[in-house]
Structure 1
């Protein structure tokens, strides 16, 4: 079995066949729980003339502050399959300028204020989609008795053109 240098699986099958299969399975189930609780999609029949985008799992091993390892799995839509004018109209990615961060930090330091930084784990899942986008159900996570249905995305997912 081929793995990357740091032991991360490259695909779903590698994750389930490796020595850390139980850890990767737990990471995927955790991601699925997050996706479902955020109502990221609803199952629907694929309308005629529409196509369902493919998806894949991306695996990462994160080093924690205490030296322990955290296994993380992310569901990613293969957004390169999207077609401009059909699946999306424009791409927009808001970014902050470094000068703005420096200005805020200098104000905090000068005024002796308290500053707190945070990271939102499910930031991409808070973006509502305006377009009608469909995705294939996940391998081995398809809902029993509804395998012929696809996921109609209601929230943005990693990989979509409109995700950022």
Structure 2
């Protein structure tokens, strides 16, 4: 058997998956407050809380006797805009995996659009020569009714979720 004497070159297709790149996005609350962009992350978190409260989705509350509070987590992302600017986004998410079936919840439902539906709409737009525009609704998941009482805790502060929660 003969082996090649050439130096192997990694496949560029998979090279991007092997690189560890620092995106500048904090992994946790403490990291956001200690980083160089702390003021921008603070504004993003305040914007998220303002949105939750103005949509009447979340409110400060005392934890009732016998209720368990789920933990929250801040998720931070930097979005690149078309003009090259950067937008700092913070989302408060509930760690729903802490819930126990038949104790904390009874059913799960998450509406998802099927790819065939998107293809159908795009084909109708193309055939009829219509104008199509994409719209990103920042707080779409906040609207709706929540049957269960869900309490969350972050740093000793308790809150009650009143709207549909993306857990």
- What interval of TM-score do these two structures reach, taking the shorter chain for normalisation? 0.7 to 0.9
**Deviations 1:132-157, CA, capped at 9 Å, x for gaps:** 11111x44xx7xxxx5xx31210133
Mapping of residues 42-57 of structure 1, within 5 Å:
42-57=59-74
Question: Among 88, 96, 99, which residue is 1:82 paired with?
Answer: 99
Mapping of residues 133-152 of structure 1, within 5 Å:
133-136=150-153, 138-139=154-155, 150-152=158-160
Q: Determine whether 1:32 maps to 2:40.
A: no
With a CA cutoff of 8 Å and minimum separation of 6, indicate the structure with the bigger relative contact order.
Answer: 1
Return 54-63 or 78-87, whichever deviates more: 78-87
Report what 2:84 is aligned to. 67
**Deviations 1:104-163, CA, capped at 9 Å, x for gaps:** 211121112222221110011113211111111x44xx7xxxx5xx312101333x2xxx
Q: Determine whether 1:155 maps to 2:163.
A: yes
TM-score, length-normalised on structure 2?
Answer: 0.81
Aligned residues: 147
TM-score, length-normalised on structure 1?
Answer: 0.82
Distance 2:103 2:65 in 1: 14
Gaps in structure 1 of 5+ consecutive residues = none
SS in structure 2 of the partner of residue 155 of structure 1: coil
Is the Cα contact below 8 Å between 2:44 and 2:90 reproduced in 1?
A: yes
Distance 1:63 1:119 in 2: 15
Question: Among 137, 142, 145, which residue is 1:125 paired with?
Answer: 142
**Deviations 1:62-120, CA, capped at 9 Å, x for gaps:** 11111111111100111111111122111112222212211221112111222222111
Gaps in structure 2 of 5+ consecutive residues = 1-20
**Deviations 1:21-46, CA, capped at 9 Å, x for gaps:** 11111111111111110111233332
Distance 2:136 2:144 in 1: 16
